[in-house]
Every structure is written in C-alpha cells, then in structure tokens.
Structure 1
C-alpha cells in the first residue's frame, strides 16, 4: 500500500528537475527568475502542510476507532458468553463450544490479513457460527425449565456481539477517497519541484537539503498511509487482538 521508496525517488527527481529549470531561468533572466516565486511557494507549501495535517488527523482518528472496536467486541462476546449460564444446564455445553469456535474464527479473520480473500472466506464461517449460536440460543430459551429472564438477557447480548462484527468490517473499509492521497503525492512532488527551483544558482548541489527534503516527505507519506491501513504495514493494531486471545483462553 505504501511505497516510501517511490515517494523518495519522486521527490528527489523533482528536486533535480526544479534545480535545472531554475538554473536555465537564471541564465536567461537573472533578475526576473525569482520574481513572484515566493508567494507561489508559500501558497503551495501551506496547502501541503494543511493536507498533511488533515490526512494525518483523520488516519489517527480512524486508527483509534478500530482499536476501540476490538475492545468492544471482546466485551460483547465476553458478556454473551457469561450469560449462557442463565440457560438450562443441558443446553450450555454445545453453545459454549460454538462460542469457542466462533472466537477462533474471529481471530483467524484478522490473522489472515493482508490476504483479503482468505479473510473473507473466514468471515463467512464466522457468520455461519453466529447463525448457529443464535438458533441454539433461541431453542435453549424455549426448553422446559429455562427461566424467562434467560432469553431477555442473552439475546440482546448476542445481538450486540453480532452487530459489532459488521461495525468492525465497515471500519476496516472506511478510508478517505483515493483522490486525497493522489493530491498528497502530487503536492509533495510539486513542492519538491519548487524547492529545487529555489535551490538553483549554486555552484554545486546541496546534497544535505535535497536528501533531507526527499526523506522527510517520504517518511510523512509513509506514516500517514501506514496508520490508515494498520494491518498492512509496520504500524498495526494486531497487539490489541491479544484481548481476543485472552478471552479465548478464559473459555474453559
């Protein structure tokens, strides 16, 4: 998803192109080469800074949301599992086994990423297990000796457990339009071009500034994209899946 090497090479190339354009402009019109460029550069760099702040803030907000949804799902499953104790004793073992299989399947959905097709196939299995749990819970609530409050307490917990899977699935697909990232890449390259133009006139290239500018732009874009897609890069929410692992271990 993120290619910092391409951003680095792109910025480096545009810095060099901008420097060469600036040198030619200075050679043909030394006095007018830089006339009015300051206002344009200021506007472009200000727009780049605004876009970086916007995309970073949005990515960080969505990262926090996805992280919180992991905790919410664990709490929902844990609550529903505890309320199985309200059902008749004979109905509990089968349902508890279904819950253990369900948690295993939910963990596998995210373990199989970034293989999207495998994750979708596992998600189908999770949905089937949800249906089995719901059907058996309804049947257990109608068994002789089942206390009336059992289904009144269990079914809302199961409903919340099922709903959170849809919420998490939608959260993984919630991203800014591609045009936003295209603008980010494009503005980074335009900024590199203008920065290179501003460096024209020197007898030699300013390697420190050129490398520094390209590296910083590549790092910024990389971090933003990595936070936006936290299961595909280095910045991940996998550590929060440990809560599901701990829940599964508690299901004796």
Structure 2
C-alpha cells in the first residue's frame, strides 16, 4: 500500500500516534538503560538528540520546499494553459468560414471540461475528462492539418498550428505536474524513519534526565502530524485542500462564451437581435 492510498486525515492520525509511541518506547528504553548505566551523561544524550532533531527539521524543510514548488508550478501552469488556449482560439479565425463554428464549439467544450475537472476532481471524472480532452485535441489537429495541406490559406500553418501545438504541450505538462509528479516513496520512508528515531531519542533523553512524562507530548505529536499532513496535502492536488486557483480558466470560459454569443448574433443578422 502506497502513501497515495492513505487519506490526509488518516495520515494525520497515524503520524500523531506514531510520534507518541516512539516517544514512549524511547522513554521505557531510557529507564531500562538508566538502571544499569547511571553514569551515562545527560549532555552526551542531549547532543545526539539535538543532532537528530536538526536532521529531521532539515528533511522536513527540504520536503516542504519540493511540494510548495510543485504547488507554485501548478498555479503557473493554469495561467499558461489559459493563455495558450486563448491564443489558439483567437487564431482559429484564420480557418475557413465553414469550419470556424465547429472549431469554436470544440474550444468552448474543451474549456468547460477543464473547469469541471478542476471543480470536482474525482478519479473517474478526471479519467473521462482526460479522454475527452485528448479526443478534442485530435479533432482540432486533424482539421488544422487538413486545411494546411490544401496550401490555400498560409496563416493556418504559420499561426494557428503553432498555437494549437503549444496548447497541447502545456496541457501535457499540466497533466504531468498535477497527476503524475509526486514525492518519491523513498523520501517518505526517510522522513518517517527520521521522525521515529528523533522522537525515540527525545523520550530516551527525558528518561535519562529523570524527568516524568510530560503532558506536552501530545502537543508535539500533533505539531508533527500537522506538518506531515500539510506536506501530503500540497503533494496531492486532487485532495481538495490546496487546489491551484482556476480563475484564469473561468475568465477564459466567460470570454469564449461571450465570443460564441456575439458570433451567433452576427450569424442571425441584425433583424433578429
């Protein structure tokens, strides 16, 4: 079972319980050792525990930097995606009049589909959305190539096709970043291994110092659980906790809808307005 199959709430609870268990295990180990080796210096143990804590903090900061950069990349790609679609939609006016309406409808459906996928990110809706998006890509590309081969309308290969190609490229990049790029499992394993070792060392230090159990231990466990849950939420854009803002796509959706209405009124004629 991978980390992707564990919900954010379950991951939070597991981490909190794991921290408490590790501290308790270290505390009991410290008591057992302290009864036989009372001359173990507290300063040496404190130095080792501090080093473990510093290493854990470094790994958590490193991991958080990775997932926060991915989140920023997803936000940037939403803007780039909207701009690429807008450019291709506008340059579709170079197509012959007979095909402009069909292409405009495909673009409108494409943007509506992308907005719906972001609003209700269930695995099945995403799968169906990706299949339909790629079919629309093929339809738009085949129509563009068919007109480009006639050689009667130079702006099509010179302007529209590169814009369409850029739209498909940004789409593929956005799918890769949003759906396929995740923290490697080894980073999660290293992160949890260091967490358990650092917390066990913390419990050992408390026992070695002759301290009783502290009521602050649950607070420490919850603090680490919050950080781990935050990292997991940023790593999973489909979780719904940290979704890249879709306003650029919503604006584009409104622009295309307005353009379609304007085109329809123009086709109906002024007498029908």
TM-score, L = length of structure 2:
0.82
1:98-136 alpha-carbon deviations (Å, 9 max, x no partner): 1111112223333442x3243122201110111111222
For the pair 1:248 / 2:265, whether they are aligned, the reply is no
The separation in 2 between residues aligned to 1:183 and 1:198, in whole angstroms, is 22
The equivalent residue for 2:173 is: 167
Counterpart in the other structure of 2:31? 23
* Secondary structure at 2:238 match in 1: coil
Tell me the residue number matched to 1:58.
66
What is the count of residue pairs matched by the alignment? 247
C-alpha deviation, 1:33, in angstroms: 6.4
* Aligned pairs for 1:1-252 within 5 A: 1-2=7-8, 3-32=11-40, 34=42, 36-113=44-121, 115-141=122-148, 147-172=153-178, 173-200=180-207, 202=210, 204-208=212-216, 210-237=217-244, 240-251=245-256, 252=260
Question: Any unmatched runs of 5+ in structure 2?
Answer: 1-6, 261-273
Question: Where has structure 1 moved over 6 Å in runs of 4 or more?
Answer: none
More displaced, 226-235 or 3-12?
Answer: 226-235
1:231 is displaced (CA, Å) by 2.4
- Say which SS state the counterpart of residue 169 (structure 2) adopts: helix
Within 2, Cα distance between the matches of 1:179 and 1:34? Answer: 33
Rounded Cα–Cα distance in structure 1 between residues aligned with 2:202 and 2:27: 8
Structure 1's unaligned 5+ residue stretches are: none
Q: For 2:182, what is the secondary structure of its paired residue?
A: coil
Q: Deviations over 1:157-198 (max 9, x none)?
A: 000011111111111212231010111112112111111111
Q: For residues 182-226 of structure 1, what are the alpha-carbon distances to aligned partners after superposition, in whole Å with 9 as ceiling and x for unaligned? A: 111121121111111112255642102x12211111111111111
Contact 1:17 1:193 in 2 (8 A): yes
| C-alpha deviation, 1:65, in angstroms | 0.9
* Secondary structure in 1 matching 2:246: helix
